[in-house]
Structure 1
Amino acid sequence: MKHWLFVFSAGMLAACSVSNSEEISDSHMVSEEVFKTKLGNKEVYGVRLMLTTPEPIEAMEYRVQLSRNEAVWIDTVGVEIEQDDTVETEVIFSEAVAEPNDKVEIQTERLDRK
């Protein structure tokens, strides 16, 4: 059974960032990055998103995909942002155990609410 941990604050114990080399095409996305963090006795990958909006109040939902070598994990994260504010949110992939020489990539996609 897959366990996903959502953390909506910047207070996580984060070490060793791995940058995503892709261009960010979402106008609300300030930055996105992969990082490693200790979870129990193992080191796992997480994805940190920094989002902003010029709109009065906006609720946003993102699909976050982490690929490590041949394995893929997918999760969603939702945030509500007030006008001209910036929010940092993290998704921890508890089963994405970090190993030496990993090839790690992320993809993020904003999900439209209709």
Structure 2
Amino acid sequence: MRLHDLAHVRTGDKGDISQISVIAYRAADYPRIARALDTARVGAVLGVAAGAIRRYELPQLGALNFVLEGALSGGVTRSLALDAHGKTLGAHLLALEIGDGA
């Protein structure tokens, strides 16, 4: 099962920071998503150092918000790597395979 089966994302970019909010479709799936996504795993999937990622839990909304510092190679307007922008990072994260017991 992939993350996109359980959740959708909203993203934003500001300067050299990207934010990705992972929002469960169903409240019952939030605990599973929270277990599956820690800063180390998100960093490994997106190629961002885990120390540069902060995770905020929003259980009432069934969401996790990840703030990725330094993810945009100097900033959205300075980056030559268009694929590093938030929408692409969010789509890449949704393709993550998560196990049944994650």
Q: TM-score, normalised on structure 2?
A: 0.47
Query: Greater share of strand residues, 1 or 2?
Result: 1
Which of the pair has more CA radius of gyration? Answer: 1
Q: Which has the higher relative contact order, 1 or 2, with Cα contacts under 8 A spaced 6 or more apart? A: 2
Q: TM-score under structure 1 normalisation?
A: 0.44
More helix by share: 2
